[in-house]
Amino acid sequence: MEIRKETNAGTLNIAISGRVDTTTAPALENELKDSYDSCEALVLDFKDVEYISSAGLRVLLSAQKVMSKKGGMKLVNVSRDIMEIFEVTGFTDILTIE
Amino acid sequence: MKELIIDALTENLPQVLGFVDEQLEAAQCPVKIQMQIDIAVEEIFVNIAHYAYEQEVGTAAVRVEVTNEPPAVQITFIDQGIPYDPLAKADPDVTLSIEERQIGGLGIFMVKKTMDDVEYKYLDGHNVLTLKKGLVSK
């Protein structure tokens, strides 16, 4: 998994690529924890995410909980296969996906 | 049937997935089904790594069996840890709002939802969990 960060007028854009699984999700979680204070809103670019397991879903859920008290969080460029995982787990109802 | 016997440690997950993927790719498994199977394998293996042996390091056996008619795979996980049926846990309520949603319990739920069949048995001091999944896209 690789993470690229870019801040634009208080909105933090994080582009994630590769696999978000048990072994890589902690790195994403740490990256997000370090960023919460310095950003108002969060955009996660899922264009190059190939795989996400429940470890990754847990990170998204905690990020959503933090960001819903701030300027919000949204996911962009989610592939069809990843979208199906969000549907099965009910995440399509709690995440903002564009 | 192919078998991998490995220490039940989270850091061995890439090896377990590599082993399973090798068999799935040989069976020309569609990418989407492979991802669903990988997710299920990850959940089950990580569960064993976290809970089966408490502080000690034990092993897990992962058996992959591919059948042709119909094209399907059966993956069996065997460990000698504490008897534990992960399927006995209640499913999380996936209709709850963001404030109410609990973190956790999602993994096994995803396994149940995406696999065709999931079965747990405790046999002669072994936890035996079997996943079955057809290899044809529906």
ipTM of the prediction: 0.83
Minimal-distance CA residue of chain B relative to A89: B94
- Nearest alpha-carbon partner for B94 in A19, A25, A95, A75: A95
Of B11, B98, B106, the CB nearest to A54: B106
Residues of A in contact with B91 (CB under 8 A): none
SS3 A50: strand
**pLDDT at residue B69 in the model:** 87
Q: Which two tokens stand for residue B114?
A: 């995406």
Interval B43-96: pLDDT, tens: 999 999 999 998 899 999 999 999 988 999 999 999 999 999 999 988 888 888
| Alpha-carbon gap, residue A35 to B127, rounded angstroms | 42
Domains, chain A, in order of start with CATH, read 2-94 (3.30.750.24)
In angstroms, the separation between the Cα of residue B45 and the nearest Cα of chain A is 10
Do the Cβ atoms of A23 and B13 come within 8 Å? yes
Topology adopted by domain B2-134: Heat Shock Protein 90 (3.30.565)
Tens digit of each residue's pLDDT, chain A (98 residues): 999 999 999 999 999 999 999 999 999 999 999 999 999 999 999 999 999 999 999 999 999 999 999 999 999 999 999 999 999 999 999 999 99
Mean pLDDT of B114-124: 97
Pairs across A and B, CB distance < 8 A: 63
Interchain CB distance below 8 Å, A57 and B94:
no
The whole-angstrom separation of Cα B60 and Cα B45 is 8
Among A23, A61, A84, the residue with its CB nearest the CB of B10 is A23
Q: B interface mutation test: which of A86, A88, A95 has the most B CBs within 10 A?
A: A88
